Amino acid sequence: MITFKQLEALFWIVELGSFEAAANKLHMSQSAISKRIQELEDSFDVQIFDRSKRNARLSEKGQELFDYARELLERRDILVDRVSAKTVLVRRLRLGVTELTALTWLPQLVEEIRRTYPKVQIEPSVELNSELIRKLGDDQLDLIVVPDMPSDARFVSTPLKSVENVWMCTPSLAPHEEGIGLKQLAAYTVLTQGTNSGTGLIYERWLAEHQIQLPRTITSHNLLVQVGLTLSGVGISYLPKACLAHLVKQGALSIVDTSPRLPRIRYAALHRADRQIGLNQHVAQLAQECCDFSRLLLTGS
């Protein structure tokens, strides 16, 4: 069986013009180089070099073998480069995120992916938490960023940052007292995200644990719609504190302190456990570095 080491010996003897130069190039003894050429000759039952000449001159069959050897070595080098070098990786990345990520730090993540993997084609998808998880399970997405979920053996989870949500409403709707109990929310129309949203599902369960019933609710699956309804004075809603701080500062919204406060929502990057994790795992690590829910892009804040 021929080996790349034998082909390398042949290649460098021809390229450098002598067995001695090839031995120096490959950090081997001249006898070891000669042995590899002898092994090639035995494998093909041909004479590779014309031994009647002083220099390493190929025989007719030797020239044919050299041409194939050069091609095989070039293909080997291309294979090694493409597998090991991030910059020559060519494939697509089907990336799914929820609306809050899309409105805050997704552009930075896309920029970092493109900088690290210039030839990767990014196919972003912005959908509800439940739909993203379904598509990941069905292998329609490669990696998703969603509110963290209970452990699932199908997925590998990389923890990201958490989001602090607070109750917000227009100043005219805000209660006069500085803080209220959760049960007092029943006096308001409450704007929620619904159980198809990871945040909505977490908070619905949390309110149920505290035995809070809200008789008047309006459900919206769109964060911007939820913000718009809150700004319109329709009701009180839980919204991300940091990225909407500019609206509080402008006096358009007021924060309503409740006891107890809303729990923070931890986000995670998920990819399938049964897929090759090289690119997916590294993008998840990039997500850790880029994750920042503090700035709502559309406002320029």
Give residue-wise pLDDT tens across range 195-238.
Answer: 999 999 999 999 999 999 999 999 999 999 999 999 999 999 99
The dihedral of CA 186, 191, 196, 198: what is its sign? Answer: negative
The CA–CA distances, whole Å, from 232 to 101, 191, 235, 252 equal: 24, 12, 8, 10
Q: What residues contact residue 298 under an 8 Å CB cut-off, 6+ apart?
A: 103, 224
| Predicted pLDDT of residue 298 | 64
Confirm if 67 and 14 have CB atoms less than 8 A apart: no
| Share of residues in the chain with pLDDT > 90 (%) | 61
- Whole-model pTM: value is 0.69
User: Residues spanned by CATH 3.40.190.10 within the chain?
Assistant: 88-162+266-299, 165-263
Beta strands per DSSP E along the chain: 92-97, 121-126, 143-147, 155-163, 165-169, 179-181, 190-192, 217-219, 236-240, 254-259, 265-272
HSE-CB for 167 with a 13 A CA cutoff:
25
Could you tell me the pLDDT band of residue 296, with boundaries at 50, 70 and 90? Answer: confident
* Between 187 and 92, the higher pLDDT residue: 187
Third-level CATH fold of 4-84: Arc Repressor Mutant, subunit A (1.10.10)
* Between 240 and 117, the higher pLDDT residue: 240
User: Residues spanned by CATH 1.10.10.10 within the chain?
Assistant: 4-84
Q: For all residues of the chain together, what is the average pLDDT? A: 89
| Predicted pLDDT of residue 16 | 87
Could you tell me the pLDDT band of residue 51, with boundaries at 50, 70 and 90? Answer: confident
Could you tell me the pLDDT band of residue 53, with boundaries at 50, 70 and 90? Answer: low
Class of domain 165-263: alpha beta
Q: What is the distance in angstroms between the CA of the first residue and the CA of the last residue of the chain?
A: 66
The torsion angle over the Cα atoms of residues 144, 150, 151 and 156, rounded to 10 degrees, is 10
| Predicted pLDDT of residue 91 | 73
- Average pLDDT on 70-99 reads 76
Third-level CATH fold of 88-162+266-299: D-Maltodextrin-Binding Protein; domain 2 (3.40.190)
